[in-house]
Amino acid sequence: TSKDSGRNCCTLFRPEMTDFALEQLTVENNLRTAIERNELSLVFQPEIDLLTGQPTCCEALLRWHNPELGSVSPDRFIPTAERTGIILPIGEWALRTACREAQAWTGELAHSRVAVNVSEVQLRQANFCNLVRSILNETGLSPQRLELELTESLLVSREGEPRRIMDELRSIGVSFALDDFGTGYSSLGYLRHFPMDKLKIDRAFVRDLPAHREDASIVSALVNMARSLNLNVTAEGVETAEQLAVLRDLGCDQVQGYLLCRPVESHRLIECLQAERSPAVLALSEPAAEA
Ligand code: C2E
Ligand code: MG
Ligand code: MG
Ligand code: MG
């Protein structure tokens, strides 16, 4: 009957699901050997301080190039890596590589922090604190220059463990940012239970600025809330000068996005900042100067 086929056939054997499962399996199998085959790399994207125009922090973003799959975006492989636990060695590789590269930064990046995205699975590892400490020791990076980016899913559980790990790492100088803020399911009230230093407003709220007044209201509310909790605010995904001006007026501390600098390899950061950021930040000061 159709009811039976609905239960036994369609859920298991729909062709598109098989494709999806196959794709996941291919990604998974190739991901297992990605580190040893040297297929992973990091690019970095600065956050620009709106008062000084300086890069305060550069975020490390994973890139994976595989001979069979080509370039695979993190949105395609991070969920698989998290589900299978492969995120543990990959996350450790990303943390170590990011700290090592940041330690070599010079010029206007010499004091910039490096921000590393950390999955909840990683933070729940028993030895995560020790891992971070030993990577800082090994690379010589000052803990004050390391920022870890977490997502809202972590806040929902409100268990003691992540909070203890955060307290311990903060006591040695590591800071924490809440990534993609506004898109998760957590109540804003959960935020006060976690020792965050920064909120990163998701680019979903930036994309349609300045046309969508509702988005400007949301950004404004998020900035005010962050202020009252004593948190620093970065707006993500800034692509136009108009967005930049609105975000400045709404009181964001830093901006990050293609307008300021695309994610690039570590050795190209200074060159790209000089080429891309300067016109954007200079344009910003013009209307203020007229007023
Ligand atoms: P995310 O941490 O929120 O990073 C921001 C994403 O937005 C990056 O995508 C970045 O390339 C992109 N982006 C930056 N500026 C702009 C802009 O102006 N416009 C638009 N449209 N996009 C912009 P990417 O590199 O593809 O990374 C996607 C997500 O994958 C990241 O989101 C992060 O959640 C995850 N990810 C990346 N690297 C790592 C990692 O090392 N560990 C973990 N756990 N997750 C990672
Ligand atoms: Mg991030
Ligand atoms: Mg983000
Ligand atoms: Mg994001």
Q: Whose CA is nearest to atom 8 of ligand 1?
A: 61
* pLDDT for the residue numbered 2: 41
Strands 232-235 and 254-255: parallel
* pLDDT for the residue numbered 11: 45
Q: How far is ligand 1, taken at its centre, from the CA of residue 161, in Å? A: 26
Which of 88, 117, 180 most suits a substitution to test ligand 1, by most atoms within 8 Å of the C-beta?
A: 117
Q: Assign residue 201 a region (left: φ > 0; alpha: ψ between -120 and 50; beta: otherwise).
A: beta
In angstroms, the CA 66 to CA 58 distance is 25
Alpha-carbon torsion (27, 29, 32, 33), positive or negative: negative
Angle at which helices 128-139 and 160-171 pack, to 10 degrees?
20
| 3-class secondary structure, 58 | strand
* pLDDT for the residue numbered 7: 43
Q: How far is ligand 4, taken at its centre, from the CA of residue 122, in Å? A: 18
Q: Which atom of ligand 1 is nearest to the CA of 119?
A: 44
Q: How far is ligand 2, taken at its centre, from the CA of residue 179, in Å? A: 5
**pTM score, whole prediction:** 0.92
* pLDDT for the residue numbered 5: 42
Q: Map tokens 């799959």 to a residue.
A: 69
Which of 42, 61, 149 most suits a substitution to test ligand 1, by most atoms within 8 Å of the C-beta?
A: 61
Q: How far is ligand 2, taken at its centre, from the CA of residue 68, in Å? A: 27
Q: What is the CA radius of gyration of the chain?
A: 21
- Using CB distances shorter than 6 Å, the residues near ligand 1 are 45, 61-62, 73-75, 78, 91, 94, 117-119, 149, 179-180, 203, 236-239, 257-258, 263
Q: How large is the ipTM?
A: 0.98
Q: Whose CA is nearest to atom 43 of ligand 1?
A: 117
Please report, for residues 53, 70, 120, the alpha-carbon distance to residue 75 in angstroms, rounded to integers and kept in the order given.
30, 14, 16
In angstroms, the CA 90 to CA 96 distance is 10
Q: How far is ligand 3, taken at its centre, from the CA of residue 156, in Å? A: 18
Cβ neighbours of residue 21 closer than 8 Å, sequence gap 6 or more? none
* pLDDT for the residue numbered 220: 95
CB 109 within 8 A of CB 58: yes
* pLDDT for the residue numbered 290: 44
Q: How far is ligand 4, taken at its centre, from the CA of residue 281, in Å? A: 23
Q: How far is ligand 1, taken at its centre, from the CA of residue 15, in Å? A: 31
Q: Whose CA is nearest to atom 42 of ligand 1?
A: 117
In angstroms, the CA 190 to CA 151 distance is 13
In angstroms, the CA 76 to CA 66 distance is 13
In angstroms, the CA 199 to CA 287 distance is 27
In angstroms, the CA 51 to CA 43 distance is 25
Q: Which residues of 205-227 are buried (b: 16+ CB within 10 A; e: fewer)?
A: bbbebeeeeebbeebeebbeebe
Task: Name the token pair of 189.
Answer: 């009230």
pLDDT by residue for the chain (291 residues), tens only, comes to 344 444 443 345 556 667 777 788 888 889 999 999 999 999 999 999 999 999 999 999 999 999 989 999 999 999 999 999 999 999 999 999 999 999 999 999 999 999 999 999 999 888 999 999 999 999 999 999 999 999 888 877 656 688 889 999 999 999 999 998 888 766 677 787 888 999 999 999 999 999 999 999 999 999 998 998 899 999 999 999 999 999 999 999 999 999 999 999 999 999 999 888 777 777 766 554 444
What residues flank ion ligand 4 with Cβ within 5 A? 180
* pLDDT for the residue numbered 16: 62
Please report, for residues 174, 209, 228, the alpha-carbon distance to residue 193 in angstroms, rounded to integers and kept in the order given.
18, 31, 14
* pLDDT for the residue numbered 3: 41
